[in-house]
Structure 1
Amino acid sequence: MSNQETQSQLSSSADCLNSVPSVQRITARSAEIGGTLPVNRVLPTRQRRLIGAWCFLDHAGPARFAAGEGMHVGAHPHTCLQTFTWMIEGEVLHRDSLGNEQVIRPGEVNLMTAGRGISHTEDSLPDASALHAAQLWIALPKAQGDCPPAFAHYPDLPRWTADGVEHCLLVGDYASRSSAVQVYSPLLAIDLVSAQGGPLALQLNPQFEHGILLLDGELSIGTEVFSENQLGYIGCGHEELKVHLAPGCHAILLGGEPFADEILMFWNFVGYNKAQIAQAWRDWQAGDARFGRVPGYTGQPLAAPALPWRG
């Protein structure tokens, strides 16, 4: 999915909260992608730019639409990041400049590594009538920022039920289980669904900062109640998070080691300084081979907004 915001954003983990007993509340703001698809943007915000290497988080939908009127995101570029798509409802066709074509369906993950540069499109299938997904970006460490682009599809992920809650391990290691999703930083992501509701004790890595995002329903952390499109942030130094889930609650727990590199985000680019972002911007505007072309795509590529500084 494409980021339509035009301001550059400097991001680091310098504001990571260590051993703070309270939970920071972050409320998503409204945005729009692919024509008319409503999204709720949770990261980055003024309050918090990163959770580990997770640098961007959109909750897309849930949306209903007529056949042919779903999400359509034209060819656009990325650098120095991985796009991570978790499909909850609907079907979307991913196509990229490496020649990959992959339909992602509910319960599956698409992971695209941009590295030095890639372009892609995303389209709801012609007969699709719904879409509900979470899309995140993972900042690549500076040492891997110029790696070759790649794409992987993960249809099978570890699933289990504990304390009446359905767990799906999207990224990382948890409860003696491991996800096969390949990332370049120590990270965690778990999808949590509770039909009946009730208490749940989540084991945390004290070296990680964490966030729990409500996709549907409500949950409580102590006396704090969080509702749909709100995220509770927990700094490093905690080994357990006790929550109480309302019936029908659906949430994602994210975590990661505080990110060591300072990054700059502009449009769909991540970089480590303004010069790097400006060069990617010029290359995209010039149609440089760095970003390739998406086979079979006949539309116009998305135009990059003007740089907010002299490039």
Structure 2
Amino acid sequence: MSNTEPAPSEIDLATTAPVCADGAKVEIITARAVPLGGPRAMTVHRTLPQRQRSTIGAWCFVDHYGPDDVSDTGGMDVAPHPHTGLQTVSWLFEGDVTHHDSGDHHAVVKPGEVNLMTAGAGICHSEVSTQSTTILHGVQLWTVLPDSARHGERRFDHHAPAPVAFDGGEALVFIGELLGYSSPIPAFTPLVGAELRLDPGAVLELDVDPDFEHGLLVDAGEIDLEGVAVAPRELAYTGVGETRLRIRNNGADRARLVFIGGEPFTEDVVMWWNFIGRDHDEIVQFREEWENHAERFGVTRGYVSHDADGLDRLPAPGFPNARIRPRVSPDPVARPELRTES
């Protein structure tokens, strides 16, 4: 998925060395609404990146959308657009999306199946909800690639994880290891990602890696994490040093959550629009190459828009007049006193 904001802000993903959290503190990150596309754009709810916190492990982008009636919103229709230095992770709850990319990968993204696209040095792709889709609902996530992997080849990976049952619910682990399940999806830094389904009144005592920081995105349910209420579309953050997290469903209906985490990302990188690089000049170069149809990104074939008069390729937004300035991310310790405004 593209970041389609007309004037995207620069984001520095610099981090500092991990320090242990003092207890199971919880920091709440609220979403901001972002239109995806043109006049009939569907709206996504973005919790990462924020000024409050830019990354959770190598997870650097979290969009949540739906459930949307595509007859009202027009569904998803994102023309070919570029990426560098990242992986996109597509995870649907309902509806189907067609994927085409310049690595000549073509797929239909379906609920409960993870589709991971590795940009490496450069890729472009399109995403369009299928004609048969009536309700569209899911999340789109990005992970930043470390320097050792960001100049690599384009690739696309797919996996349908088997449900893992636990007392009071089940999980679908799409990246990393959790609850005894190990996903084969490749990650270039230590990561975990899973959909959690929690029955009414159930409590999940989740064993976690103390070297990881974690985020819990609520899709549906009356949830608390370590006794702190987390509303739908909010992302609850916990820092490093925890070995167990307690999640409770206080509602009368089954809850659905997305759980992410990873070792704090310690490289200094800059993110602007759909590019991740290492400094201002590199981002300028990526933008110029995309606008000039450079070989770095290749060509996406197979894109068919819902709109016969729509764009066949997304142009890059105008670049800021000033050089991108570093933004230092906080230590990987939850700050309960902070709360973003939606």
TM-score (norm 1): 0.95
Which structure dedicates a bigger proportion of its chain to strand?
1
**Residue aligned with 2:314, SS:** coil
Establish whether residue 204 from structure 1 lines up as the match of residue 169 from structure 2: no
2:328 alignment counterpart: none
Establish whether residue 116 from structure 1 lines up as the match of residue 128 from structure 2: no
Letter in 2 for 1:308: P
Establish whether residue 296 from structure 1 lines up as the match of residue 302 from structure 2: yes
Cα distance in 1 for residues equivalent to 2:302 and 2:246 = 49
In 2, are the aligned partners of 1:68 and 1:128 still within 8 Å (CA)? no
Shift of 1:296: 3.1
Shift of 1:176: 2.5
2:54 alignment counterpart: 49
Establish whether residue 306 from structure 1 lines up as the match of residue 311 from structure 2: no
Cα distance in 1 for residues equivalent to 2:26 and 2:223 = 13
RMSD: 1.8
1:32 alignment counterpart: 35
1:140 alignment counterpart: 145
2:161 alignment counterpart: 157
1:186 alignment counterpart: 190
Cα distance in 2 for residues equivalent to 1:238 and 1:124 = 39
1:259 alignment counterpart: 265
**Residue aligned with 1:291, SS:** coil
Cα distance in 2 for residues equivalent to 1:37 and 1:58 = 12
Cα distance in 2 for residues equivalent to 1:196 and 1:80 = 40
**Residue aligned with 1:281, SS:** helix
In 2, are the aligned partners of 1:68 and 1:125 still within 8 Å (CA)? no
Cα distance in 2 for residues equivalent to 1:255 and 1:304 = 30
2:326 alignment counterpart: none
2:235 to 231, 235, 240: 231
In 2, are the aligned partners of 1:115 and 1:149 still within 8 Å (CA)? yes
CA-to-aligned-CA distance 1:124-182 (integer Å, 9 cap, x gap) = 1112111111110000001111111111222x213211111111111101233200111
1:89 alignment counterpart: 94
Structure 1 gaps, min length 5: none
In 2, are the aligned partners of 1:197 and 1:249 still within 8 Å (CA)? no
Q: Name the count of aligned residue pairs.
A: 310
Cα distance in 2 for residues equivalent to 1:17 and 1:31 = 33
1:220 alignment counterpart: 224
Letter in 1 for 2:149: Q
Letter in 2 for 1:232: A
> What are the within-5 Å matches in structure 2 for residues 56-75 of structure 1?
56-66=61-71, 69-75=74-80
Cα distance in 1 for residues equivalent to 2:224 and 2:204 = 10
In 2, are the aligned partners of 1:20 and 1:235 still within 8 Å (CA)? no
Identity of aligned residues (%): 38
In 1, are the aligned partners of 2:168 and 2:203 still within 8 Å (CA)? no
Give the 4+ runs in structure 1 shifted more than 6 A. Answer: none
